[in-house]
Protein backbone atom coordinates (compact mmCIF):
# COMPACT_ATOMS: atom_id res chain seq x y z
CA UNK A 1 0.00 0.00 0.00
CA UNK A 2 0.92 3.62 -0.26
CA UNK A 3 2.83 3.78 -3.54
CA UNK A 4 0.33 6.13 -5.24
CA UNK A 5 0.72 9.67 -3.88
CA UNK A 6 -1.40 12.71 -4.64
CA UNK A 7 0.28 16.08 -4.18
CA UNK A 8 -1.75 19.18 -3.33
CA UNK A 9 0.07 22.53 -3.17
CA UNK A 10 -1.08 25.88 -1.82
CA UNK A 11 0.10 28.99 -0.02
CA UNK A 12 -0.23 29.30 3.77
CA UNK A 13 -2.87 31.96 4.51
CA UNK A 14 -2.47 34.69 7.10
CA UNK A 15 -5.49 33.37 9.05
CA UNK A 16 -3.67 30.04 9.47
CA UNK A 17 -0.83 31.58 11.47
CA UNK A 18 -0.55 32.30 15.18
CA UNK A 19 0.85 35.23 17.16
CA UNK A 20 4.39 33.97 16.49
CA UNK A 21 3.79 34.18 12.74
CA UNK A 22 3.93 30.43 12.14
CA UNK A 23 1.19 28.07 11.02
CA UNK A 24 -1.00 27.07 13.95
CA UNK A 25 -0.69 23.34 14.69
CA UNK A 26 -4.40 22.49 14.23
CA UNK A 27 -4.28 23.70 10.63
CA UNK A 28 -2.11 20.76 9.68
CA UNK A 29 -5.08 18.47 10.38
CA UNK A 30 -7.19 20.67 8.09
CA UNK A 31 -4.48 20.38 5.44
CA UNK A 32 -4.59 16.58 5.84
CA UNK A 33 -8.28 16.83 4.94
CA UNK A 34 -7.49 18.98 1.89
CA UNK A 35 -5.04 16.30 0.72
CA UNK A 36 -7.47 13.47 1.44
CA UNK A 37 -10.27 15.12 -0.50
CA UNK A 38 -7.99 15.74 -3.47
CA UNK A 39 -6.78 12.14 -3.29
CA UNK A 40 -10.38 10.94 -3.65
CA UNK A 41 -11.05 13.32 -6.55
CA UNK A 42 -7.92 12.26 -8.43
CA UNK A 43 -8.84 8.61 -7.97
CA UNK A 44 -12.21 9.24 -9.62
CA UNK A 45 -14.56 9.63 -6.65
CA UNK A 46 -15.45 11.91 -3.79
CA UNK A 47 -16.80 11.95 -0.27
CA UNK A 48 -20.07 13.19 -1.78
CA UNK A 49 -20.32 10.01 -3.88
CA UNK A 50 -19.74 7.89 -0.80
CA UNK A 51 -22.28 9.74 1.32
CA UNK A 52 -24.90 9.68 -1.45
CA UNK A 53 -24.82 5.90 -1.17
CA UNK A 54 -25.20 5.97 2.61
CA UNK A 55 -21.57 5.46 3.67
CA UNK A 56 -19.34 7.71 5.73
CA UNK A 57 -15.65 7.71 6.69
CA UNK A 58 -15.41 9.52 10.04
CA UNK A 59 -11.95 10.18 11.44
CA UNK A 60 -11.36 7.96 14.47
CA UNK A 61 -7.71 8.79 15.08
CA UNK A 62 -5.21 11.51 14.08
CA UNK A 63 -1.44 11.42 14.42
CA UNK A 64 0.81 14.34 13.56
CA UNK A 65 4.53 14.81 14.00
CA UNK A 66 5.64 18.41 13.64
CA UNK A 67 9.19 18.68 12.35
CA UNK A 68 9.64 22.28 11.18
CA UNK A 69 7.44 25.38 11.04
CA UNK A 70 5.94 27.13 8.05
CA UNK A 71 4.87 30.74 7.83
CA UNK A 72 2.39 32.99 6.10
CA UNK A 73 2.96 32.98 2.35
CA UNK A 74 4.99 29.78 2.27
CA UNK A 75 4.04 27.37 -0.48
CA UNK A 76 3.50 23.91 0.96
CA UNK A 77 2.59 20.57 -0.55
CA UNK A 78 0.49 17.90 1.11
CA UNK A 79 1.45 14.42 -0.09
CA UNK A 80 -1.37 11.95 0.54
CA UNK A 81 -1.42 8.17 0.17
CA UNK A 82 -3.36 5.19 1.43
CA UNK A 83 -1.16 3.69 4.14
CA UNK A 84 -3.44 0.78 5.02
CA UNK A 85 -6.71 -0.59 3.69
CA UNK A 86 -8.85 -3.10 5.57
CA UNK A 87 -12.38 -4.35 5.07
CA UNK A 88 -13.88 -1.64 7.31
CA UNK A 89 -11.03 0.83 7.76
CA UNK A 90 -8.68 3.02 5.76
CA UNK A 91 -5.56 4.77 7.02
CA UNK A 92 -4.30 7.76 5.05
CA UNK A 93 -0.68 8.83 5.39
CA UNK A 94 0.49 12.41 4.90
CA UNK A 95 3.66 14.35 4.47
CA UNK A 96 3.59 18.15 4.36
CA UNK A 97 6.67 19.57 2.68
CA UNK A 98 8.02 23.04 1.92
CA UNK A 99 8.71 24.31 -1.59
CA UNK A 100 12.37 23.44 -0.93
CA UNK A 101 11.39 19.82 -0.15
CA UNK A 102 11.86 19.96 3.62
CA UNK A 103 9.41 17.77 5.55
CA UNK A 104 7.42 20.02 7.89
CA UNK A 105 4.95 17.47 9.26
CA UNK A 106 4.07 13.82 8.82
CA UNK A 107 0.93 12.12 9.98
CA UNK A 108 -1.94 9.70 9.59
CA UNK A 109 -5.69 9.67 9.90
CA UNK A 110 -7.65 6.51 10.61
CA UNK A 111 -11.19 6.22 9.22
CA UNK A 112 -13.86 3.61 9.85
CA UNK A 113 -16.66 3.06 7.36
CA UNK A 114 -20.13 3.59 8.82
CA UNK A 115 -23.71 3.84 7.61
CA UNK A 116 -25.99 6.84 8.22
CA UNK A 117 -26.79 5.56 11.72
CA UNK A 118 -23.12 5.31 12.69
CA UNK A 119 -22.96 1.51 12.54
CA UNK A 120 -19.64 0.13 11.32
CA UNK A 121 -19.92 -1.39 7.85
CA UNK A 122 -17.59 -2.97 5.33
CA UNK A 123 -16.19 -0.58 2.74
CA UNK A 124 -18.16 -0.98 -0.49
CA UNK A 125 -16.25 -2.79 -3.22
CA UNK A 126 -16.15 0.32 -5.44
CA UNK A 127 -14.54 2.33 -2.60
CA UNK A 128 -11.95 -0.37 -1.95
CA UNK A 129 -11.15 -0.36 -5.66
CA UNK A 130 -10.94 3.44 -5.74
CA UNK A 131 -8.56 3.48 -2.76
CA UNK A 132 -6.51 0.55 -4.02
CA UNK A 133 -5.81 1.86 -7.56
At residue 1 the predicted structure's pLDDT band, cuts being 50, 70 and 90, is very low
Rg of the chain over Cα atoms, rounded to whole angstroms, equals 15
Report the pLDDT averaged over residues 105-131: 96
Catalytic residues, which ones? 18
Assign residue 94 a region (left: φ > 0; alpha: ψ between -120 and 50; beta: otherwise).
beta
Q: How many CA atoms lie within 13 A of 90 on its CB side?
A: 24
Number of residues written out for the chain:
133
Please report the pLDDT score of residue 3 as a whole number: 77
Please report the pLDDT score of residue 2 as a whole number: 55
Please report the pLDDT score of residue 79 as a whole number: 98
On the question of pLDDT at 112 being above 60, the answer is yes
Report the pLDDT averaged over residues 12-39: 96
3-state secondary structure of 32: helix
At residue 34 the predicted structure's pLDDT band, cuts being 50, 70 and 90, is very high
Distance CA 130, CA 133 (A): 6
Alpha carbon distance, N-terminus to C-terminus of the chain: 10
The model carries a pTM of 0.94
* Bridge partners for 80 per DSSP: 6, 94
Domains of the chain, earliest start first: 6-131 (3.10.129.10)
**Closest Cα partner for 74 from 97, 54, 90, 92?**
97
On the question of pLDDT at 121 being above 50, the answer is yes
pLDDT digits (tens, 9 = 90+) for 67-96: 999 999 999 999 999 999 999 999 999 999
Distance CA 96, CA 76 (A): 7
Report the pLDDT averaged over residues 91-104: 98
Report the pLDDT averaged over residues 61-66: 98
3-state secondary structure of 22: strand
Amino acid sequence: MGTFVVETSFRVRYAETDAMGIAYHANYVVWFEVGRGEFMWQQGGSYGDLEAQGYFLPVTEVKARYLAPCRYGDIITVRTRVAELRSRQVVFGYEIVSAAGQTLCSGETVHVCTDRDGRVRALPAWVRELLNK
